Structure 1
Amino acid sequence: MSPSTLETIRQIFVFERNTLAEGGRAAAAPSRHVVAAAIFKNPCAGRGAATDAELADLAQRSVEIGTLLTERALSHFAGEEKPRAYGKAALVGTAGESEHGAALIHPRLGLAMRTGLGAGPALIPGNAKVSTAGGSVDLLFGGADDAWDYDAMDGITLAIPGAPGPDELVLFVGFGTVRINARVKGASAEQVAKVVADIRARRQA
């Protein structure tokens, strides 16, 4: 563990949501979503637009912190409650820029999350924004093994009082089972591909 990265962490939070019933109906299957978050110093704060090298450094830091957060989040699942959904998000303090958050969640973080989960070829939903202290962010969950797993699609709104400070970043890593009583189905990947192909064909006609 790099002291230049992990020793800059100010606080770690773990959010756990267990939805037992909704709409007067008990959960047909466990609906558990766990998000681990770390608040840490933004090395690029106050420097203006980050260089490519600085963004690459943030991406590398996300692997170390993401590994720690993945371990914390996954420790809340036991037995047959293996997660089939994942998501990620970041909040950037006001002395930073949104691209700092993008560097945290897009290039390398998925490596830590997929390694910890032991699954996950599907794209991980991600969201990052600049925020004042106490601001919220929506973390979206998508299927880990199948991006078209509609039952795994869900979301959670997260906020930490007092964070991020102007020179801080907050990284969120989330895992979940299924949306409570999920029963809405959408188009399959094959159906969507056919629709897109038809649209392109009409445009070229």
Structure 2
Amino acid sequence: MKAEIRKLAVFVEELHREMDRPVSPPSRKACAVAVIRNPFAGRYVEDLGDLIEIGAELGGLLGKRCVEALGIPPQAAESYGKAALVGEDGELEHAAAILHPALGKPLREAVEKGAALVPSSKRRGGPGVVLDIPLGHKDAAYVRSHFDGMQVWLNDSPRADEIMVAVAVTDSGRPLARIGGLQAHEIEGRDGLR
């Protein structure tokens, strides 16, 4: 593996009640995080190919960890998202190199299909900074009930020469969703939009 991983962490959030109403079955989100050494920390490098390769490695690894944490078959995953937090000696383009060119394909394989773009966010910060991971339905971007997010932070990450990379996967949409739009059971899943 090209990624030099210092730490892996997996979190599962399970919501049983919302607005004093039961959520049944519970709404569940999983997030898997890798804290890696940034090979380009502190210097400008034109070719970010190493980070693109690392993104491909992490997409599969983190996606599988999320699915396993939820205890579901891959095809039961409904939403996904990705995010990266670059330490202060890195640049946002380092996060973009990990997240965009190659992380999506292995993540889609981990959740079986994934016709929609994977929502993403990136930022720079130090240890304990909160990273927001946007979520959207994996097969149809117009499913409003699955517009959501998850937050993650690690008290010691990222260090100045590190990047914290996160993937989130859910087994459902938002609890008590009721703002209309395309419903999950209406998805065609061909164009990634509907």
**TM-score (ref. length: structure 1):** 0.83
Unaligned residue ranges in structure 1 (runs of 5+): 189-205
* Bigger proportion of residues as strand: 2
The alpha-carbon deviation at position 28 of structure 1 amounts to: 3.8
> In structure 2, which of residues 51, 66, 70 is the aligned counterpart of residue 77 of structure 1?
70
Tell me the number of residue pairs that the alignment of Structure 1 and Structure 2 aligns.
Answer: 181
Alignment-derived partner of residue 138 in structure 2: 144
**In 1, are the aligned partners of 2:12 and 2:70 still within 8 Å (CA)?**
no
Q: Secondary structure of the residue that 2:62 maps to in structure 1? A: helix
Cα-Cα RMSD: 1.7
For the Cα contact (< 8 Å) 2:38–2:161, is it kept in 1?
yes
2:156 matches 1:183? no
**One of 7, 20, 31 as aligned partner of 1:24:** 20
Corresponding residue SS for 1:76: helix
CA distance in 2, matches of 1:146, 1:187: 9
TM-superposition CA deviations, 1:87-132 (whole Å, max 9, x none): 0000000000011011111111101110111111101100011111
1:138-194 per-residue CA deviation (whole Å, 9 max, x = no partner) reads 111101011111122211121110100000011101101211121222479xxxxxx
More helix by share: 1
Work out the percentage of aligned pairs sharing the same amino acid: 34
CA distance in 2, matches of 1:21, 1:109: 34
Structure 1 stretch displaced more, 55-64 or 16-25: 55-64
TM-score (norm. length: structure 2): 0.88
Residue 101 of structure 1 aligns to a residue in which SS?
A: helix
